[in-house]
Amino acid sequence: MSECVKFSFRGQEIVAEAGQSVGAALIAAGHRSWRTTRREGAPRGVFCGIGVCFDCLVVVNGKPGRRACLTEVLPGDVVEPQEGAGRGELSC
């Protein structure tokens, strides 16, 4: 049996398997989208799942622009949805 890791998403505690990506853990917990596009606010989540696109961006521990499909979830991580590019200076 693998080890469990707990992190939070939108203030909700989520349990993941050690070594699992943030994206895989969110999908396993029933979350399908966690980012909105910069201009239209359209929902996004995992698209390619291998780090080629940037649809799965999240904010991890206050740092925006983290690809959920490539970021390993660590105990105590605080994951939040990302709006647009995650940086105000890029917003229109």
> Is 46 a domain residue?
yes
> How confident is residue 37, by pLDDT bands cut at 50, 70 and 90?
confident
pLDDT tens track for 59-80: 999 999 999 999 999 999 999 9
Per-residue pLDDT averaged across 40-68, rounded? 92
Here the CATH number for the domain that contains residue 39 is 3.10.20.440
Say what the pLDDT of residue 2 is: 75
In a domain, residue 33? The reply is: yes
Rounded CA-CA distance 67/83 in Å is 13
Token pair, residue 79, equals: 């994951």
Measured torsion, CA atoms of residues 74, 8, 78, 29, in degrees rounded to the nearest 10: 70
Q: Which ranges in the chain belong to alpha helices (H)? A: 22-28
Q: Can you give the pLDDT at residue 91? A: 47
Q: What is the pTM of this model?
A: 0.85
Look at the chain and report how many structural domains it folds into. Answer: 1
Mean pLDDT of 3-16: 97
Strand partners, 78: 8
**Could you tell me the end-to-end alpha-carbon distance of the chain, in angstroms, rounded to an integer?**
48
Residue 73 lies in a domain: yes
Domain ranges, residue 14: 4-84
